[in-house]
Structures are given as structure tokens and as C-alpha cells.
Amino acid sequence: MKKLALIAVLLAVVAGACAREARQLDAARDRWEASGITSYRYDIVVRCFCPPLDATVEVIDGVVVSTKPLTEGPLALEGRTIEQLFDDLEQELGADGRGDYTVVYHPEYGYPTRVVADPIKAAIDDEYTYEVLLITR
């Protein structure tokens, strides 16, 4: 009986954390949409168990028009709009619940400025971090 009660408490804590993350994501996305920004440029740096990935991404009227690496590297980073970054986050946060995510959103515009992810806590070398370093209109 005690084990069942403990499991119920743990499930409630996990469900509460997932709901909080979803509310934060929704509020951040609302701030981004309210900003009305559709054309912008941002720098993104990805850190993972991989070669360096970074880029300057330019978006005009909601469409990625260019992606240029910030540094020389063997891999190209695919350009994503801020809306696509939100969609990616929503998908990951709503996945099977095995991951651990810390997301920092811009206080005014809502876009994710830093994501620290461990998609599968029991796995090794799946962790990554990305930062949106600069956004200009």
C-alpha cells in the first residue's frame, strides 16, 4: 500500500512538472506571437557530444532565407524559424517523459534563449544545449 501511495505521489510530481513546462512554453510562444516579429536574424550555438554546430539564421516573413555557419566545421546546421524551435520544444517536452529539460525564455519576446536537454536520462551522450545568442530585426 505504501508503494502505491509513493508511486501516486511521484506521478503527480512528474505530471505537475510537465504541466508547468507546457504552460511556460505556451506563455513564451504567446509573447513571441504578440511581438509581431516575422523578419529577423539570430545566432544559434549547439553544444553536444558532436562537432561544433552553430549558425546565423536569417528569416524573412517567417521563412528561413539563409543559414551561415559562425565557425568552420564539418557539419551544417539546418536553419529553423523561432516558430519551428517552439514546435521542436513542444514535441520534445511532450514526448515520453523520460527526458529532463531546462528552458530559458526571453523575458520580453518569449523566444527560447537557452535549452539544456537530456532526452533520455538513462542514456549516455544524448545531452545537448543550444543558445540563441542574438536576435535582430
pTM: 0.80
Euclidean distance between CA atoms 108 and 59, whole angstroms: 19
- pLDDT for 8 equals 34
Euclidean distance between CA atoms 60 and 68, whole angstroms: 15
- pLDDT for 27 equals 96
Percentage of the chain with pLDDT > 90?
49
Domain ranges of the chain: 2-136
- pLDDT for 15 equals 41
Euclidean distance between CA atoms 112 and 22, whole angstroms: 13
Query: CB under 8 Å to 105, separation ≥6 — which residues?
Result: 24, 28, 31, 111, 112, 113
Given a contact cutoff of 8 angstroms between Cβ atoms, the answer to whether 43 and 133 are in contact is yes
Average pLDDT (25-41) is 96
Euclidean distance between CA atoms 63 and 40, whole angstroms: 10
